[in-house]
Amino acid sequence: MSRLSKPERFKAVIGWFEQNMPVAETELHYDNPYELIVAVILSAQCTDKRVNMITPPFFRRYPDAEALAAAEVEDIFELIRSCSYPNNKAKHLSGMARMLVNDFGGVVPDDVETLQRLPGVGRKTANVIASVAFNMPAMAVDTHVHRVSARIGLTYRAKNPLETERQLVKYIPESKLAIAHHWLILHGRYVCIARKPKCSECGLREWCRYYQTKAQDAPRKDAMTQ
């Protein structure tokens, strides 16, 4: 296979996803921006499946920012204790809700920079809220996006999520940033998994830098050791 240029690789990968994953959405359950921001804060280092088990009773108890802002941290903790880092997340949720009420009238802002002022909301979370809730052209980078982008060859030597984000937004059309986030997450969650990617099931093999090097080197190394 001839060496692909960066634009060629992006075009091929985006084209494959458009054909094979035309619908790609968050697996978190939510009905409005408030519910989404709560769910995303809870999802840090926790599975979406677990978060979706926690949020129904949580939202019955705290249906909006005003209700959550009035809650005691200890009561929030009791509802989210089955997720990872419940102590920190309870404090973040409380602080986030209070700032929403005090500074934003209980309304979740749609600007990435403004969102990052909220407790518990880093750049990744802010980008998720902006793109998913408000359809803004933002690229959220979590561990799946960071890993898959590097493996495929969309990014090169990106040391952290911010570097990954900058490389991705350079080549992904603005209109496709929001869905591209979900393409990469879902691909990383179910196919290009961390420890042993399922290359035999992957439709991106033809354009994947990892597959073209390490995965195909394995049979040659095995033959040499026999």
For tokens 């793109």, the residue is: 131
Q: What is the pTM of this model?
A: 0.87
46 is in an annotated binding site: no
* Residue predicted with more confidence, 54 or 216: 54
Average pLDDT value for residue range 42-49: 93
The pLDDT tens digits of the residues spanning 103-159 come to: 999 999 999 999 999 999 999 999 999 999 998 999 999 999 999 999 999 999 999
CATH homologous superfamily for 33-134?
A: Hypothetical protein; domain 2 (1.10.340.30)
Q: How far are the Cα atoms of 38, 73, 132, 150, 208 from residue 59, in angstroms, in the given order?
A: 9, 15, 19, 37, 42
Q: Does the annotation list 83 as a binding residue?
A: no
Average pLDDT over residues 39-51: 94
Indicate the residue type of 135.
Answer: N
In this predicted structure, the answer to whether residue 223 has a pLDDT above a threshold of 60 is no
Residue 208 known to bind ligand: yes
- At 3, the pLDDT band (50, 70, 90 cuts) reads confident
Q: What is the pLDDT of residue 218?
A: 54
What was the pLDDT predicted at 224? 41
CA dist 124 → 26, 53, 178, 219 (Å)? 14, 22, 13, 38
Residue 63: phi and psi, rounded to 5, are -75, -15
Residues classed as catalytic: 124, 142
Rounded Cα distance between 224 and 129, Å, is: 50
Answer yes or no: is 199 a known binding residue: yes
CA dist., res. 130 & res. 133, Å (int): 6
* Candidate CATH numbers 2.60.40.420, 3.30.565.10, 3.40.720.10, 1.10.1670.10; the one for domain 6-24+140-215: 1.10.1670.10
pLDDT in tens, 157-211: 999 999 999 999 999 999 999 999 999 999 999 999 999 999 999 999 999 999 9
**Residue among 66, 79, 73 at smallest CA distance from 91:** 73
Helix (H, G, I), strand (E, B) or coil at 156: coil
Q: What is the pLDDT of residues 23-40, one digit of tens each?
A: 999 999 999 999 999 999
Q: Any idea where the domains of the chain sit in the sequence?
A: 6-24+140-215, 33-134
